[in-house]
Amino acid sequence: MTTFVLVHGAWHGAWCWNKLVPELEALGHRAVSFDLPGHGNDSTPRQTVTLDSYADRIVEVLDSLDEQVVLLGHSMGGMAITAAAELRPEKLKALGYLTAFLPRNGESLFAIEERNPRPSVPVNLVAAPDGKTAMVNPERVTDLFYHDCNAVDIAFATAHLTPQPLELLTMPVKITEVRFGSIPRIYIECTDDRAISIELQRDMIAASPCAEVISLPASHSPFFSLPRELAQALARLA
């Protein structure tokens, strides 16, 4: 049995894993999900949230578990698990990046996005009046995140999205080869992702080689569209 700690991406919450968790459990594994600060049901004021806040919340979860785990991050969650890995490398069997941002030392999410040959999400942000948070243009969010998902899942997801703190997306990670670099990395690329293009996914993998790379023919949200296939891929890696 492997314990998977699941870290959601921007705008999302622990709710996005509600189809993956039972699939992993059916395969004999344990799955732990939670809300990052300012997301889902977490009441942390969004204007106070930083990348360190995300990392500290993940560390709280890791420290509550007795075993080593696979730490899986989706999308922006890749930035969060990278920062957390630097703090607790001894708690991790592996880092899993699910169509996620895989930064090098000193890179922020927006810095990586500048290499995206098909930028989509940054150009579809709708900022709040105070400029502190943003949502994705509601006319584009389904196409960018959920285009291969069923209508029930799309309705559920779009009803639960929450504003994303913008400043956090400009915050760089600080990692070292001795700590973060000592942990095996796994990347699950989604070849039909319209939010993080497959070209950018492979650019990040080339810059930070991974021990294993698995491809899924999925959108940005395989936890909704292909939960069984995703669980099986994770189980093989475990």
pLDDT of residue 127: 96
Could you give the dihedral angle defined by the CA atoms of residues 207, 144, 232 and 102, in that order, rounded to the nearest 10 degrees? 20
pLDDT of residue 137: 98
- Of 218, 182, 187, nearest in space to 204 by CA: 187
pLDDT of residue 237: 80
> 230 — phi, psi (to 5°)?
-65, -45
pLDDT of residue 175: 98
Low-confidence ranges of the chain (pLDDT < 70): none
pLDDT of residue 236: 86
pLDDT of residue 26: 98
> 38 — phi, psi (to 5°)?
80, 5
Helix axes 51-63, 77-87, angle to 10 degrees: 60
List, in sequence order, the alpha helices (H) in the chain: 20-26, 51-63, 77-87, 109-113, 141-145, 151-160, 198-207, 222-225, 227-237
**Does the annotation mark 147 as catalytic?**
no
**Does the annotation mark 75 as catalytic?**
yes
Does the domain at residues 3-237 carry the CATH identifier 3.40.50.1820? yes
From the list 33, 53, 75, 208, the catalytic residue is: 75
pLDDT per position as a tens digit, 72-131: 999 999 999 999 999 999 999 999 999 999 999 999 999 999 999 999 999 999 999 999
* DSSP line for 75-115: TTHHHHHHHHHHH-GGGEEEEEEES---PPTT--HHHHHTT
From the list 74, 120, 193, 225, the catalytic residue is: 193
Entry pTM: 0.97
| 3-class secondary-structure state, position 186 | strand
Domain ranges of the chain: 3-237
**Tokens of residue 125, six digits:** 């942000």
From the list 12, 29, 39, 220, the catalytic residue is: 220
